[in-house]
Amino acid sequence: MKFMQLSKSMARDQSQTEIENKIREMEKIEERLVVFSVDVLDYHSILVALKGCSALFCCLDSSDGYDDKIVDLEVRGAINVVEACAQTESIEKIVFTSCLTAAIWRENICAEKDVDERSWSDQEFCRKLKLWYALAKTLSEQAAWALAMDRMVNMVSINAGLVLGPGVTQQNSRSTLSYLQGAAQMYENGVLAFVDVNFLVDVHIRAFEDRSTCGRYFCFNQIVNTEEEAIKLAQSLSPLISLPARYECQGSEVFAERLRTKKLNKLVEGTAC
């Protein structure tokens, strides 16, 4: 088993260094685990790391936050990863980690009744609002899909909600804050959702092991559509997000849930497509 640390030629913050140290400790304990440090902008380093692998679980995320330059780097990284898989005979499937933000943002966000795996965020709308995280996830996933189909590479994507779990937000604080850009609008339109990291991992494994998986899969545990749930989410993200010490729930409005997980439910039940 190989673990590739995907970087984008940038300085790592302290939380990223802590994650890498934990991975190195895992390598010492588990003899079958081999760790590679791979720059996703270095195509040949990816090829070397992929040699002999049957699958790639690909998660491109910047620990430095997101801006227009990071968007371009993430797209280039996605292209390199998929092309390297296409040139590696042993690769059977790519499980590409994407995000719900690659599907929900558009000018008429409040007009659509349902948002499912057929939906894509509007690139120009993301640029207009400077939703760089959403734009990066949209363009990198689209680039990965275009190349995977052209090279006939077996790929599925997992479009995750905001990832929560022990230590997750502390170790990925900038990604978490980037995801939450426009959180109020997501909340009011019934598309703010989160997923437990352990459930997300399980879905990735299922997506690889189930030969019938195809296309995109929305992955989340709950949609945040009441003020009470929004407060609980904010509290779970503390100290990254802070609330007034004596904040009390004021409203009882329930926003309509618009995200659909029909495909995810089938995957969990064992009938993926």
Give the three-state DSSP class for 28: helix
Residues in the chain: 273
Which tens digits make up the pLDDT trace of 156-169?
999 999 999 988 88
Report the predicted TM-score, pTM, of the whole model to 2 decimal places.
0.88
Return the CATH number of 2-269, one of 2.40.30.270, 3.40.50.720, 2.60.120.10, 3.30.70.20: 3.40.50.720
pLDDT band at 11 (very low <50, low <70, confident <90, very high): very low
- State the average pLDDT over residues 132-143: 98
- Comparison of pLDDT for 247 and 232, the residue scoring more: 232
The 3-state DSSP class for residue 2 equals strand
Instruction: Please give the average per-residue pLDDT across 202-227, as a whole number.
Output: 95
- The Cα–Cα gap between 131 and 122 comes to 11
Side-chain-side CA neighbours of residue 60 (13 Å): 33
Comparing CA positions, the residue from 153, 122, 152, 154 lying closest to residue 139 is 122
Residue type, 72: D
113 is catalytic: no
Residues 6+ apart with CB under 8 A from 39: 7, 8, 9, 45
- Average confidence (pLDDT) over 105-117: 83
The predicted-structure confidence for 38-66, as pLDDT tens digits, reads as follows 888 999 999 999 999 999 999 998 878 89
Residue 44 backbone dihedrals phi, psi, to 5 degrees: -70, -30
Candidates 2, 22, 69, 137; catalytic one: 137
What residue spans define the domains of the chain? 2-269
